[in-house]
């Protein structure tokens, strides 16, 4: 092993951005966090206070220009600039780990005007390559393709010059020890043929109403929450699985205000795949006890369950009211170790030019399913696909 380290910058120092910065600065020994960018000076100051001397930029573009030794960018800025920043980094040949979602509901000034054709409104969050673009209004089919193609093109074009370039849009659960254990067992046939997949992503109830405002840009509960479950379904069923149909139903049990953003606080869905496989999904914003992300894979000879008995740690409390245990309050509480593994493995694949831990094709399928589910949630219609994965019905939103 050489002592070489990967020079990393983090764009954005909000909640998740700061966590990424912390993981790369203090928990990823093979990475050097050399720079951060944020439009908020106080966040830059706080980063220096916490991580010691590093370069700070109020302007992302300037950071790219001023840091010739930069090798990789972690895009965790405001979601409105994710796609733009990712593409700019891609075009400079940098490795990119892009937080999801790439973008929502805003005009994007593309770094590559000829291909993305200027600014445009986006509503549907769509993962392209391993990234996402979302539009605030139903894109025409044509526009949707343009968007996808432009991002894919940016990466594909760059790959010609930079064959070792890595671009990842991390699905953190793929780095979680329990999910990996489960996947290994399924992959080696322990449960026979995986046939039914049940998974839920449920956030702790936040009575502040945060999720109503958040929904304006989140892409909707299926895209924001269930995208993880969809990605897992593809991982466990095989990334070349072809979706056959999706259908979703939802309610607003605690946050009626979500309806104005075409969103719901609880939703269930069924996703059929060709080859006799079914995924059953549930997403919720109102779990009382905390983060409850549970997955079960039912095979012809056995079942593997992940987190069906949620817990914060190994402590049980015996009280006059019974036996109690706490559970993680949020996604980060459940998956912190996975994010750290993500940082380290992304760093390793960049340094060693090895395969990134996940393929692009699955991510493209995931976003297609997530967007279709969100559409089905609102329209109440089942959406069907042919054996190549193309929508059968012409009708779209």
Considering only residues 14 through 53, tell me which ones interact with a copy of itself, judged by CB under 8 A: 25-27, 29-30, 49-53
3-state secondary structure of 46: helix
Q: Pick from 300, 355, 388, 394 the residue near a copy of itself by CB under 8 A.
A: 300
Residue 136 Cβ vs a copy of itself, minimum distance, rounded to whole Å: 26
CB neighbour list of residue 191: distance below 8 Å, 6 or more residues apart: 185, 297, 298, 299, 300, 301, 302, 303, 304
296's enclosing H/E stretch is strand 292-299
Which residues, 155 to 194, sit near a copy of itself by CB under 8 A?
177-178, 181-182, 185, 190-191, 193
User: Which one, of 200, 196, 192, lies nearest residue 173 by Cα?
Assistant: 200
Residue 292 interacts with a copy of itself (CB under 8 A): yes or no: yes
Q: Identify which of residues 107 and 206 has a Cβ nearer to a copy of itself in the complex.
A: 206
CB 29 within 8 A of CB 21: no
Q: Which one of 87-95, 146-154, 155-163, 263-271 is the stretch in contact with a copy of itself (CB under 8 A)?
A: 263-271
Q: Identify which of residues 28 and 103 has a Cβ nearer to a copy of itself in the complex.
A: 28
Q: Pick from 43, 84, 229, 272 the residue near a copy of itself by CB under 8 A.
A: 272
**Number of residues near a copy of itself (by CB under 8 A):** 83
Q: Which one of 65-73, 128-136, 283-291, 351-359 is the stretch in contact with a copy of itself (CB under 8 A)?
A: 283-291
Residue 82 Cβ vs a copy of itself, minimum distance, rounded to whole Å: 28
CB 255 within 8 A of CB 210: no
Q: Identify which of residues 318 and 395 has a Cβ nearer to a copy of itself in the complex.
A: 318
- Whole-number Å distance between alpha carbons of 334 and 330: 7
- Whole-number Å distance between alpha carbons of 263 and 252: 8
Q: Pick from 123, 282, 346, 385 the residue near a copy of itself by CB under 8 A.
A: 282
CB neighbour list of residue 162: distance below 8 Å, 6 or more residues apart: 93
User: Which one, of 117, 126, 122, 85, lies nearest residue 107 by Cα?
Assistant: 122
Q: Identify which of residues 40 and 253 has a Cβ nearer to a copy of itself in the complex.
A: 253
Residue 376 Cβ vs a copy of itself, minimum distance, rounded to whole Å: 10
Residue 137 interacts with a copy of itself (CB under 8 A): yes or no: no
Residue 278 Cβ vs a copy of itself, minimum distance, rounded to whole Å: 6
Which residues, 301 to 320, sit near a copy of itself by CB under 8 A?
301-320
3-state secondary structure of 210: helix
- Whole-number Å distance between alpha carbons of 172 and 340: 9
Cis peptide before 246 (omega within 30 of 0): no
User: Which one, of 149, 150, 147, 151, lies nearest residue 136 by Cα?
Assistant: 147
Residue 178 Cβ vs a copy of itself, minimum distance, rounded to whole Å: 4
Which residues, 347 to 386, sit near a copy of itself by CB under 8 A?
380-382
Please list the residues that pair with 74 across neighbouring strands. 10, 97
Residue 3 Cβ vs a copy of itself, minimum distance, rounded to whole Å: 4
Q: Pick from 58, 187, 249, 392 the residue near a copy of itself by CB under 8 A.
A: 249
């Amino acid at each position: 092993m050489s002592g070489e380290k990967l020079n990393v910058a983090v764009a954005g120092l909000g909640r998740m951005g700061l966590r990424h910065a912390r993981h790369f600065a203090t928990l990823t020994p093979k990475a050097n966090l050399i720079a951060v960018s944020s439009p908020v000076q106080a966040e830059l100051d706080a980063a220096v206070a916490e991580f010691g001397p590093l370069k700070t930029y109020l302007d992302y573009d300037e950071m790219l220009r001023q840091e010739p030794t930069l090798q990789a960018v972690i895009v965790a800025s405001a979601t409105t600039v994710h796609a733009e920043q990712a593409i700019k980094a891609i075009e400079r040949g940098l490795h990119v780990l892009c937080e999801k979602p790439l973008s929502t509901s805003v005009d994007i000034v593309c770094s590559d005007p000829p291909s993305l054709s200027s600014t445009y409104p986006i509503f549907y969050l769509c993962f392209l390559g391993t990234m996402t673009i979302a539009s605030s209004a139903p894109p025409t089919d044509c526009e949707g393709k343009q968007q996808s193609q432009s991002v894919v093109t940016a990466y594909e074009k760059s790959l010609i010059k930079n064959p070792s370039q890595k671009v990842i849009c991390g699905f953190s659960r793929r780095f979680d020890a329990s999910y990996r254990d489960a996947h290994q067992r399924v992959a080696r046939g322990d449960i026979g043929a995986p046939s039914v997949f049940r998974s839920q992503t449920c956030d702790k109830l936040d009575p502040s109403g945060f999720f109503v405002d958040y929904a304006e840009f989140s892409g909707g509960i299926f895209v924001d929450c269930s995208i993880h479950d969809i990605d897992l379904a593809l991982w466990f069923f095989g990334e070349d699985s072809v979706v056959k149909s999706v259908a979703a139903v939802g309610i607003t049990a605690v946050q009626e205000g979500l309806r104005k953003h075409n969103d719901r606080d609880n939703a269930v869905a069924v996703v059929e795949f060709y080859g006799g496989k079914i995924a059953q999904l549930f997403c919720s914003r109102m779990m009382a006890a905390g983060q409850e992300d549970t997955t079960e894979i039912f095979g012809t000879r056995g079942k593997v369950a992940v987190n069906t008995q949620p817990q914060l740690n190994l402590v049980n409390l015996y009280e006059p009211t019974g036996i109690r245990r706490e559970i993680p309050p949020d996604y980060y509480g459940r998956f912190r170790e996975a994010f750290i593994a993500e940082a380290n493995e992304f760093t390793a694949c960049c340094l060693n030019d090895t395969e990134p831990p996940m393929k692009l094709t699955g991510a493209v399928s995931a976003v297609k399913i997530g967007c279709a589910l969100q559409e089905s949630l609102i329209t109440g219609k089942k959406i069907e696909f042919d054996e190549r994965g193309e929508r059968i019905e012409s009708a779209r939103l």
